Structure 1
């Protein structure tokens, strides 16, 4: 039930869901309190306007992504851990495993293995039956890793975890059962890294961040005010900006909820 509620309830906090909820309230009170309805509609409009603003979106994303910028030279570790949420299963009409935007995770993890950063690649991630289903994501990640030249005997899988806390708990169990020291390179999206690091440290795992999937680059920040055209496009509401704002808020909400549950 926690998993379901963790997906459902935040929807009404994110800009789009909150705006829809406010507009529903406005419809209910429209006939009896038109002034109140107008105020509620205005609030919904402001929330959508801010959430889809490029300056707001990039500011929120950067506040998370740039907390753990990758080191120029990552240290050696005993294992490379790649967190799920990066690929879609080979379910018709897909001819093979599809890589999502966060698919940089498995590409980066496999690359680090091929660079000799660690002797094992641990792939962590199951799949929620009521969200598309399919085989465990760790299996699909393993297919991609093998295609990139990672030997099958160097891959360890956690096929059951459904959130970041379970990722860390199951990875700790794998490390202990295989006699591998708890010193790992942690690969996940840059925006997801702050929460992930805290959770892994809570499990007694010494995780060095190896972030990937950056949404905001230095050049993009420089271009924001480089011309009036760029500034105008960042002010005008945009669905991609709204998505980035939502993803950033998801991480901040996750930090609060996970801390309340004692997982950080």
Structure 2
């Protein structure tokens, strides 16, 4: 029930939905003053949520920094970075840097094994299991099966942590662990994983959205892609609330 509720809430909290609903109210409003005010409000909403600078500063505050360099027994790669093509082949989405950095960490000897944690997070229907597809891809590029652990049942971050802990305890209890995920996903991941593992883990941030420096256009010109950035961060905040309720 909470899983379904969280999906519905995430949809409702999308900024583009707010703009669309406001425009609908404006369209069907009989009052000229209310119609005008709603239209102005929709424009303001669209400007705020498409402003690259405002979104970037929120991410600058929220995104985690790199951990100190050391070696780990296991790197837990959190899912949500892949998609299927029309021919049902493996491909990465805008969070593909999670996979890229995991391969880098393995190839440079920072992590000894890769634990891929990701099943299907779809509410309706079915899709290919992310962990299985990723494992096949890693094998194709030369990473041996012995270096990969597959966790393909989880649907959310809490299950990522719980199922990963079981696999680690079955393979090598008390392994040194680093969680690899998007920089903006680390605050919630840290809250969950540290509690489930009952110890402090390290976290490796990927696919940063916040910038070190902003262009003049970031301050004034609307950017359609920025709407999705707000969707990501709102999803994280909703997730924090839902996870606290579940725990």
TM-score of the alignment, normalized to the shorter chain, above 0.5: yes
Equivalence for 2:65:
69
Residue by residue over 1:176-203, the C-alpha shift from the partner in whole angstroms, topping out at 9 and shown as x without a partner, is: 2223315311101111111111110110
Structure 2: which 5+ runs fail to align? none
Name the residue aligned to 2:39.
41
**TM-score normalised to the size of structure 2?**
0.89
Whether the 8 Å CA contact 2:116–2:135 is kept in 1: the answer is yes
Higher fraction of strand: 2
Matched residue, 2:205:
211
Partners of 1:69 and 1:233 lie apart in 2 by: 23
| Unmatched segments (≥5 aa) in structure 1 | 225-229
Aligned length: 246
Are residue 169 (structure 1) and residue 167 (structure 2) matched? no
Partners of 2:219 and 2:226 in 1: CA distance: 9
More moved, 240-249 vs 131-140: 131-140
Pairwise mapping of residues 142-221 of structure 1 onto structure 2 (< 5 A)?
142-203=135-196, 204-218=198-212, 221=213
User: What is residue 227 of structure 1 aligned with on the other side?
Assistant: none
**Aligned match of 2:73:** 78
Q: Do the aligned partners of 2:2 and 2:242 also contact (CA within 8 Å) in 1?
A: no
Cα deviation digits, residues 56-100 of structure 1 (max 9, x gap): 1111222222xx2113x52222211000001113x5335x31111
Q: 1:149 to 1:206 in 2, by over 3 A?
A: farther
Task: Show the counterpart of 2:245.
Answer: 260
In 2, Cα distance between equivalents of 1:256 and 1:129: 20
Distance 1:130 1:9 in 2: 13
TM-score normalised by the chain length of structure 1: 0.84
Q: Secondary structure at the match of 2:205?
A: coil
RMSD of aligned residue pairs (Cα, Å):
2.1
Offset at 1:167?
Answer: 0.5
